[in-house]
């Protein structure tokens, strides 16, 4: 806890070290992955961690069985936002969101559904990709 506080302090030199953050994005330790997801809520991006590395963090947080309930909802929102910002990533990130949608845990499933609906409303051109990755979801047609 003290090391993380030191690392993320405003004056810490490590805060902008791309090598350190790229390594943290690949950590096998779930407690660090959960903290990275929390940190992402407050930052637009991590130094040295491109979107592909964040994908691994999001995947491992969502697939974590025993921990990270609050972070899972944050990760789901971050994934949805990443797709909105870069629709070309829909085929790699939407399957990760599908994990949340299909979760047996209510909060994760609701967060996943909310993220997919928000994505479909924000980027209607991705509706076909949503249908392909989540065929069990049915969207009602809205009359004009």
- Choose among 76, 72, 75, 17: nearest CA to 49: 17
Q: Which range marks the domain in which residue 87 is found?
A: 2-133
Q: Which tokens is 63 given?
A: 């697939």
Q: Is residue 138 in some structural domain? A: no
Q: Is residue 144 in some structural domain? A: no
Task: Look at the chain and count its residues.
Answer: 144
Q: Is residue 84 in some structural domain? A: yes
Q: Is residue 70 in some structural domain? A: yes
Q: Is residue 31 in some structural domain? A: yes
Q: Using an 8 Å Cβ cutoff, are 57 and 26 in contact?
A: no
Q: Is residue 128 in some structural domain? A: yes
How far is residue 10's CA from residue 27's CA, in Å, rounded to a whole number?
A: 23
Q: Is residue 36 in some structural domain? A: yes
Please tell me what DSSP assigns to residue 65: S
The CB density around residue 1, as the number of other CB atoms within 10 Å, is: 7
pLDDT digits (tens, 9 = 90+) for 25-70: 667 777 777 777 667 666 555 555 555 666 666 666 665 645 556 7
How far is residue 99's CA from residue 50's CA, in Å, rounded to a whole number?
A: 22
User: How many structural domains does the chain have?
Assistant: 1
pLDDT digits (tens, 9 = 90+) for 89-132: 888 888 888 888 887 778 888 888 898 988 888 999 998 898 88
Q: Is residue 142 in some structural domain? A: no
């Amino acid at each position: 806890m003290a090391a993380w506080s030191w690392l993320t302090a405003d004056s810490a030199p490590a805060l902008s070290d791309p090598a350190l953050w790229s390594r943290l994005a690949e950590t096998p330790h779930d407690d660090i992955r959960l903290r990275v997801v929390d940190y992402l809520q407050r930052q637009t991006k991590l130094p040295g961690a491109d979107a592909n590395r964040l994908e691994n963090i999001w995947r491992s947080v969502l697939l974590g069985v025993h921990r990270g309930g609050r972070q899972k909802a944050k990760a789901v929102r971050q994934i949805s936002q990443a797709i909105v910002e870069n629709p070309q990533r829909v085929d790699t990130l939407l399957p990760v969101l599908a994990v949340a949608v299909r979760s047996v845990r209510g909060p994760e499933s609701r967060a996943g559904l909310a993220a997919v609906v928000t994505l479909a409303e924000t980027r209607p051109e991705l509706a076909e990709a949503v249908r392909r990755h989540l065929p069990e979801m049915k969207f009602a047609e809205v009359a004009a």
